[in-house]
Amino acid sequence: MNKKKVIVPIVAGVATLGILTGVSYAYFSAKITENNKTETIMKSNELGLTFTGVSEINANSMIPGDSFTKTFSVENTSNRAVTYNIYMQNITNEFNEDLVYTLTDDNGEVVAETALPTTNTGKSYLMTNISIDAGVTKNYTLKIEYKYLDTLQNDYQGSSFNATLGIDTEQIQEEISTLCKRATTLHTEICSQTSTSSYCRADGYGEGDTITYGNLGENGTLSTGDAFDCDVNGDGTYDAETERFYYISDMTNGVTTDSDTAVLIYYNNVSGGEPNNMAAYVYDTSGNNNNGPVTAITQLPTTSQWSNVNLISPTRQITNETGGTTTSAGDLPSFSYEVYSARLLTYQEVYNGCYNGTTAITSTKGLSSKCKYLMENTKYSSSTLATYGGWLETPISSRSNSAWFVFGNSRIVGYNTVSTTSSLGVRPAIEVLKSNISY
């Protein structure tokens, strides 16, 4: 991915320093009060720095050699590395160069040390170009010391120092363009099936009627069937014809669920990573379901074909429809999609996205009300197309030789033997962080 530097100004003024001095011959007696307070500078999906520390320090009557310290921290709450600067502004400094500061980091290392800035309404930087990774907090101690340098001790009687302490930032980030954008038009097909007891006709379409797949959705909400165009090949184009996906549910393999990650299913089956509604493939030629879909996945788009998307974890635990990791054939292994940008859907993801609360997804019309989009480019619309639907990753718990698939005839999730060559395809599912979807 390309990298760029983004200059992001942050409103400062998060902590105020004040040194109030009184007259007492040649020295000042000291009193320091601190008021702890947390301030948020900026917080967003793209950039977030939180400044935490003492918001105001008042010191009265300091003598030469006296000092005080304040502590503060900077937390990067974003998911990108950030480079920031620490500064003072709106400075009134009547001590001239006799007031100095030392800035110490987490490791006790002095990272900046010099005389405090002189009177200045603009920004005077104490330290610049500090890099902080995502999720990291850096802690600082700022020591301010009165080092009396003149021979006449009374020069700065009644003097004061006031300033506002703040941070601003430059963010160094990977340029990650939005991967998926809401579709503005929907795919359609013509229902050309003749039997009224199955396929599209059994869902109420007449012969010659238009079937519309998915929905345009509601801004700010992800609902099953929401249509998206995803720039999976990284060419900068969101192709509504060949890069159409549908949100089905959050990522789950039956054991764990990741609510930050959306799973989207492709509009078509694939052959060699390319859309193809006329090609069928077996799940596993060995005839056993405990290997995972080792044959089917060889048709998925590779990381070079869909270079702009990747799986959260290419190696995953395959589970059956109940979340179990064993079948009568033995333990289901961790399964690798290492060279692929997509995988097969799981039974649990289909259940979470498609169950309508009344009809089981394994019962006739179980997919009809919420998930017709799973049957686009299948025999659901036309007997001339090659497949009933696509394989799911999930083996069936009660059989050692079968796995689940989408069946357009009865509009259900059904199962078949993994070595069957009878009209089942490979349909890619992608995993996308919700923060990288424009919805």
pLDDT digit string, tens, across residues 140-197: 988 888 776 554 455 555 666 777 777 887 654 444 468 999 999 999 999 999 999 9
Please determine, for residue 352, whether its predicted confidence score (pLDDT) is greater than 50: yes
C-alpha span between 76 and 47 (Å, rounded): 8
Question: Which range, of 81-90, 115-124, 415-424, averages the lowest pLDDT?
Answer: 115-124
Please determine, for residue 280, whether its predicted confidence score (pLDDT) is greater than 50: yes
CA 136 to chain centre: 17
DSSP assignment of 61-104 equals S--TT-EEEEEEEEEE-SSS-EEEEEEEEEEEETTGGGEEEEEE
Beta bridge partners of 315: 336
Asked if 392 contacts 344 with a C-beta cutoff of 8 angstroms, the reply is yes
Strand ranges in 105-214 using DSSP code E only, listed in sequence order: 110-115, 124-132, 137-146, 160-174, 180-182, 188-190, 210-212
- Nearest C-alpha neighbor of 365 from the set 396, 407, 394: 407
Distances (CA, A) of 320 to 333, 351, 399: 12, 13, 10
pLDDT for res 332: 66
Please determine, for residue 199, whether its predicted confidence score (pLDDT) is greater than 60: yes
Tokens of 35: 């008021």
* Pairing verdict, β 326-327 and 424-425: unpaired
Measured in Å, how far apart are the chain's first and last C-alpha atoms? 22
Beta bridge partners of 265: 246, 429
Please determine, for residue 390, whether its predicted confidence score (pLDDT) is greater than 80: yes
31 pLDDT tier (thresholds 50, 70, 90): very low
Q: What is the CA radius of gyration of the chain?
A: 32
Distances (CA, A) of 393 to 52, 140, 326, 387: 47, 51, 14, 17
Beta bridge partners of 89: 164
Q: What is the pLDDT of residues 321-345, one digit of tens each?
A: 998 876 554 556 789 999 999 999 9
Asked if 57 contacts 21 with a C-beta cutoff of 8 angstroms, the reply is no
pLDDT for res 48: 64
CA 234 to chain centre: 18
Q: Which whole number is the average pLDDT over 88-93?
A: 77
Q: What is the pLDDT of residues 259-275, one digit of tens each?
A: 999 999 999 999 999 99
The one-letter amino acid code at 188 reads T
Tokens of 182: 């809401």
Q: What is the pTM of this model?
A: 0.63
Please determine, for residue 81, whether its predicted confidence score (pLDDT) is greater than 60: yes
Please determine, for residue 34, whether its predicted confidence score (pLDDT) is greater than 70: no
Tokens of 283: 């799940």
Q: Percentage of the chain with pLDDT > 70?
A: 79
Tokens 């992001």, residue? 8
pLDDT for res 93: 74
Q: What is the pLDDT of residues 227-261, one digit of tens each?
A: 999 999 988 899 999 999 999 999 998 778 899 99
Q: Percentage of the chain with pLDDT > 90?
A: 51
C-alpha span between 415 and 422 (Å, rounded): 12
